[in-house]
Amino acid sequence: MNVIAAVFARGGSKGVPDKNQRLFDGRPLVVHAIEQAAACQHVERVIVSTDSEEIAKLARAAGAEVPWLRPESLSGDTAREWDAWRHLLTWLDERGELPDRLLVVPCTAPLRNVGDLQRCVDASLSRDADVVLTVTASHRNPWFNMVTVDDEGFARLVLEPERRIHRRQDAPLTFDVGTVAFVVNPTYVQTADSLYDGTVIAVEVPAERSLDIDTETDLAFAEFLLQRSRTTKTAEAADD
């Protein structure tokens, strides 16, 4: 199977300015994503789609291809990344280089490991899924402790069960979609308009490896989790 990895990294960000270029553990987030993608089995190329010349330079130095700068129409705050995926796949298709699978590795989940990426690729190849995405167990459950509030302040459960649920443990399991990785069938992306219109498989990843960096607090917490993980591994090695 031919797998191409792609990192989509815009230059702008409101929550964390220049987020994809920010240092995490001494290296830019975009570089972490490139290195993790390149280490994944089956991946033959890593391509970065960006509108930023600075990110392009970082990506090329890390060994990724940056064949062009992304058009402005695909780079604004309202642009859908799905359309950026299509843009890359159209370019590959025109060159006769469309892969069997596209592995999308977002910059915002640097705590993932290569094994997480590999499990997603393996799930896609073995089960012929249109989309593989990662999930973590949700802390809130729309069947039990999530409500909507109308204009008059009246609250209702987001989802109404047939029978009232009184304990969280009795509610159906729900999951948060993460940004660890997405593996997609290129043909599906070229013809569909949503992640969820086809055959979608979920790969569960522990919460400590799924943190999505969207704010400065997230970035600081990710650094804390990284250091805690290293301290734990050092202590375990000493015990051995």
The domains located in the chain, with CATH, are 3-133+177-239 (3.90.550.10), 139-173 (no CATH)
Q: What is the pLDDT of residue 215?
A: 94
Neighbours of 217 (CB within 10 A): 11
Q: What is the pLDDT of residue 17?
A: 86
Would the pTM of this model clear 0.85, i.e. be above it? yes
d(CA 216, CA 38) in angstroms, rounded, equals 27
Q: What is the pLDDT of residue 146?
A: 93
Tokens of 133: 């995405």
Q: What is the pLDDT of residue 38?
A: 98
Q: What is the pLDDT of residue 236?
A: 79
Tokens of 68: 């062009």
Q: What is the pLDDT of residue 237?
A: 78
Q: What is the pLDDT of residue 168?
A: 86
Q: What is the pLDDT of residue 235?
A: 80
Q: C-alpha angle 135/187/95, rounded to 5°?
A: 120
pLDDT tens track, the chain, 240 positions: 899 999 999 997 777 889 999 999 999 999 999 999 999 999 999 999 999 999 999 999 999 999 999 998 998 888 899 999 999 999 999 999 999 999 999 999 999 999 999 999 999 999 889 999 999 999 899 999 899 999 999 999 999 888 889 888 899 999 999 999 999 999 999 999 999 999 999 999 999 999 999 999 999 999 999 999 999 888 877 877
d(CA 179, CA 177) in angstroms, rounded, equals 7
